Amino acid sequence: MNCPHCNVHIDEHPASRCLDAWVAEAVMDGRPFLTEDDCKASQTAWTFGQNRWVMSSLHSDGEGASFFRVPTYTADIAAAWEVVEKINDDSAMTLRWYNPDGRTSYFSVAFGFSKKIEAHADAAPLAICRAAIKTSVRD
């Protein structure tokens, strides 16, 4: 499964604003845009910029969007935990830390009950985001 924006495989994708945007769209049901003006100009615009992301979320009646900054899901554990809470509405989550040889370590995150979807990374927020995307996006 490759990122729709940069075409990097999910298991190789680094923590970045690109991956934050993918999480916002695929998991958190948002639509990231560069600025509020870009959002008003085109409801499908994707422009990547430095820390200026905002997310548009239409109200349930389809009227009026609200705008807010896309969190740094892939780098901030508090933001990543919002992703866990969103996914955990439907499934269980397991977070493990491994240090198999005493030198290298990594985090493993799995979502699901009987058929677990798993991802690994050197930081917990990144592992959470990779697993959440695998859970939310079907090839």
Indicate whether 121 belongs to any domain. yes
**Three-state SS for 22?**
helix
Q: Is residue 10 part of a domain?
A: no
In a domain, 35, yes or no: yes
Count how many domains the chain has: 1
pLDDT in tens, 2-18: 988 789 999 999 998 88
**Least confident span in 32-36, 69-73, 109-113, 132-136:** 32-36
In angstroms, the CA 34 to CA 24 distance is 13
- Of 101, 100, 99, 95, the closest CA to residue 125 belongs to 95
Identify the burial level of 82 via C-beta atoms within 10 angstroms of its C-beta, where 0-12 means exposed, 13-18 middle and 19 or more buried.
middle
Question: Where in the sequence is the domain holding 105, given as residue range(s)?
Answer: 17-136
For 55-87, what is each residue's pLDDT tens digit? 555 544 555 555 567 889 999 999 999 999 888
Whole-structure pTM value: 0.74
Say which CATH number the domain at 31 has: 3.30.2120.10
Tell me if 129 is assigned to some domain: yes
| 122 in any annotated domain | yes
Q: How confident is the model at residue 129, as a pLDDT?
A: 95
Inside any domain, residue 40: yes
Whether 12 is covered by a domain: the verdict is no
User: Angle 17-26/124-136 helices, nearest 10 degrees?
Assistant: 40
**Does a structural domain hold residue 59?**
yes
Model confidence at 45: pLDDT above 50: no
